[in-house]
């Protein structure tokens, strides 16, 4: 039988489970007006966004690991240079805690070589093997994306109205205007589509809306649209944790066991942690966190589906550009796109004269991902003896199958 909290019992308004980036942002926001506590099962901040080993995280299915996987992350760290996250970093002051590398290169693999992707008028007109007419057509497409808001407000842009974009598919519109290599640049390097079929089933208006969101970050912090936190996403998560702490939030890492019991309109939370000498408990009115953490605590079933394929490859290779993106568009053998992001030895993941490659493909039915990663490495000219370590995996999304049970004997979460 549960005992009603006394005046000396620690009571909180909200318990946050996990220290992944999204949870840390929400915790920082709620801590300004609520008494909150945040628990993390792992020894460091970041949860899925950490570079440290994770405890039984069902979102990651490891396909292959080899070599020294120390400091190899589980999740890509780059962020858009314009958007809500950057706004939050600036508004909250967390940006003062984090250092970034700006993207320095954007290339696409075309006709067995790497080609620079143009993102400005200067880039377009410096391109060799391209006629003046083709350069003008490329600029039209870039301008349509950059001036999409004006187009939506009824203005004519580059001789087109919004109605012109409603009457054709995005793929057909691009095919009629651009050479094939430029179509691939727009669809896969800029708009970040995964397959040609996506652009074929979408009208040009929707396609340019997506493209406009992608290109709005170009020129904000440097020439390209991405930023890379030098110490990984966990550093951003920790920055928001600092913000919460300044608001009075309590945070505990290395929580080895959590169990929850319902009491009237509150929860009694029992915990064991390497951060405290003996088991302890507290009460909270609400429990929040990502689906994975909530399901682990409440013993609920999950719907699991593969969201994307990933790989981190650490290599002995010094690179000039400290943060670059390389696109491998679909081909006859592989019907989907692969994005490769490479960071150098000025980031936390790498020692001197090393770099790390992150592969990502949003293709749920890919069954030969390990082989495909090897083929891309070969195209990049990276030999086996250059590879220090690998982590090849699938990333799964997890959703609750059931509502949170109001009255239940809750099982423990622990090692």
In a domain, 160, yes or no: yes
Enclosing domain of residue 46: 11-56+230-301+401-414
Q: Are residues 155 and 185 in the same domain?
A: yes
CA 8 → CA 154, 247, 278, 282, distances in Å? Answer: 64, 21, 18, 10
Beta strands in 264-386 (DSSP E): 266-273, 280-289, 302-315, 323-328, 338-343, 355-361
Please give the backbone phi and psi of residue 319, each rounded to the nearest 5 degrees, phi first: -120, 145
In a domain, 127, yes or no: yes
In a domain, 380, yes or no: no
Q: Residue 141 maps to which CATH number?
A: 1.10.405.10
Q: Are residues 180 and 248 in the same domain?
A: no
Which distant-in-sequence residues (6+ apart) come within 8 Å of 152 by Cβ? Answer: 162
Beta strands in 170-301 (DSSP E): 226-229, 250-252, 255-263, 266-273, 280-289
In a domain, 75, yes or no: no
What confidence score (pLDDT) does residue 263 get? 80
* C-alpha–C-alpha distance, residues 106 and 394, integer Å: 25
Contact yes or no for 239/356 (Cβ under 8 A): no
What confidence score (pLDDT) does residue 415 get? 31
**Residue 24 DSSP class:** H
* C-alpha–C-alpha distance, residues 6 and 268, integer Å: 12
What confidence score (pLDDT) does residue 398 get? 65
pTM score, two decimals?
A: 0.88
* C-alpha–C-alpha distance, residues 277 and 310, integer Å: 39
CA angle at residue 48 from 304 to 17, to 5 degrees? 85
In a domain, 364, yes or no: no
Last residue in a domain, options 159, 187, 215: 215
CA 183 → CA 11, 44, 141, distances in Å? Answer: 58, 43, 10
Q: Are residues 199 and 255 in the same domain?
A: no
Q: Residue 294 maps to which CATH number?
A: 3.50.50.60
Q: Are residues 150 and 177 in the same domain?
A: yes
Last residue in a domain, options 185, 215, 245: 215
Q: Are residues 192 and 125 in the same domain?
A: yes
Q: Are residues 187 and 48 in the same domain?
A: no
Q: Which of 174, 177, 176, 201 is nearest to 187 (CA)?
A: 174
Residue 95, number of CB atoms within 10 A of its CB: 15
* C-alpha–C-alpha distance, residues 291 and 63, integer Å: 23
Last residue in a domain, options 161, 187, 215: 215
Please give the backbone phi and psi of residue 22, each rounded to the nearest 5 degrees, phi first: -60, -45
Q: Are residues 125 and 199 in the same domain?
A: yes
Q: Are residues 133 and 162 in the same domain?
A: yes
* C-alpha–C-alpha distance, residues 122 and 400, integer Å: 49
* Strand 413-414 with 255-263, pairing: antiparallel
- Count up the domains in the chain and report the number: 2
What confidence score (pLDDT) does residue 58 get? 78
In a domain, 311, yes or no: no
Q: Which helix (H) or strand (E) holds 55?
A: none
In a domain, 349, yes or no: no
Q: Are residues 22 and 130 in the same domain?
A: no
Q: Are residues 242 and 193 in the same domain?
A: no
Counting other chains too, the contacts that 91-99 makes at CB distance below 8 Å and 24 or more residues apart are 92/28, 92/240, 92/243, 93/243, 94/28, 94/236, 94/239, 94/240, 94/242, 94/243, 95/239, 97/235, 97/238, 97/239, 97/242, 98/229, 98/230, 98/231, 98/235, 98/236, 98/239, 99/229, 99/230, 99/231
- Please list the rounded mean pLDDT of every run of 10 residues in the chain (415 residues): 54 93 94 94 87 77 89 88 93 92 95 92 85 89 93 91 91 92 95 95 95 92 93 92 95 88 87 74 89 71 75 93 95 92 91 94 84 95 94 80 41 34
Q: Are residues 124 and 210 in the same domain?
A: yes
Q: Are residues 156 and 234 in the same domain?
A: no
* C-alpha–C-alpha distance, residues 47 and 45, integer Å: 6
In a domain, 107, yes or no: no
Which distant-in-sequence residues (6+ apart) come within 8 Å of 352 by Cβ? Answer: 345
What confidence score (pLDDT) does residue 21 get? 92
């Amino acid at each position: 039988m549960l005992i009603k909290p006394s005046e000396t019992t620690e009571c909180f308004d909200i318990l946050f489970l996990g220290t992944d980036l999204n949870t840390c942002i929400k915790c920082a926001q709620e801590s300004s007006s609520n008494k909150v506590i945040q628990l993390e099962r792992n020894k460091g901040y970041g949860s899925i966004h950490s570079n440290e080993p994770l405890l039984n995280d069902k979102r990651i299915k490891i396909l292959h690991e080899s070599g020294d996987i120390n400091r190899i992350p589980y999740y890509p760290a780059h962020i858009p240079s314009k958007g809500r996250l950057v706004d939050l970093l600036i508004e909250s002051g967390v940006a003062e805690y984090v250092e970034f590398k700006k993207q320095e290169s954007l290339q696409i693999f075309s006709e067995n070589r790497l080609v620079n992707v143009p993102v400005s008028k200067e880039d377009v007109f410096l391109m060799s093997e391209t006629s003046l007419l083709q350069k003008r057509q490329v600029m039209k497409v870039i301008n349509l994306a950059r001036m999409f808001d004006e187009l939506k407000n009824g203005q004519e842009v580059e001789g087109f109205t919004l109605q012109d974009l409603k009457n054709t598919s995005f793929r057909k519109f691009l095919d009629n205007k651009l050479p094939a290599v430029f179509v691939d640049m727009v669809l896969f390097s800029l708009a970040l589509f995964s397959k040609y079929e996506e652009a074929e089933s979408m009208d040009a208006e929707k396609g340019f809306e997506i493209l406009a969101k992608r290109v709005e970050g170009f020129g904000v912090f440097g020439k390209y649209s991405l930023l890379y936190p030098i110490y990984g996403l966990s550093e951003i998560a920790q920055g928001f944790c600092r913000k919460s702490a300044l608001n009075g939030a309590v945070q505990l890492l290395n929580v080895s066991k959590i169990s929850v019991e319902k009491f009237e309109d509150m929860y009694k939370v029992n915990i064991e942690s390497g951060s405290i000498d003996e088991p302890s408990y507290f009460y909270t009115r609400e429990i929040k966190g990502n689906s994975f953490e909530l399901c682990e605590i409440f013993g609920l079933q999950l719907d699991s589906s593969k969201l994307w394929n990933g790989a981190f490859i650490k290599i002995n290779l010094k690179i000039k550009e400290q943060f670059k993106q390389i696109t491998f568009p679909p081909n006859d053998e592989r019907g989907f796109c692969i994005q490769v992001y490479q960071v150098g030895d000025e980031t936390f993941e790498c020692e001197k004269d090393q770099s790390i490659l992150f592969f990502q493909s949003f293709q749920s039915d890919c069954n030969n991902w390990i082989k495909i990663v090897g083929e891309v490495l070969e195209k990049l000219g990276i030999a086996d003896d250059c590879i220090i370590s690998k982590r090849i995996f699938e990333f799964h999304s997890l959703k609750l199958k059931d509502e949170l049970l109001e009255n239940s004997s809750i099982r423990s979460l622990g090692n």
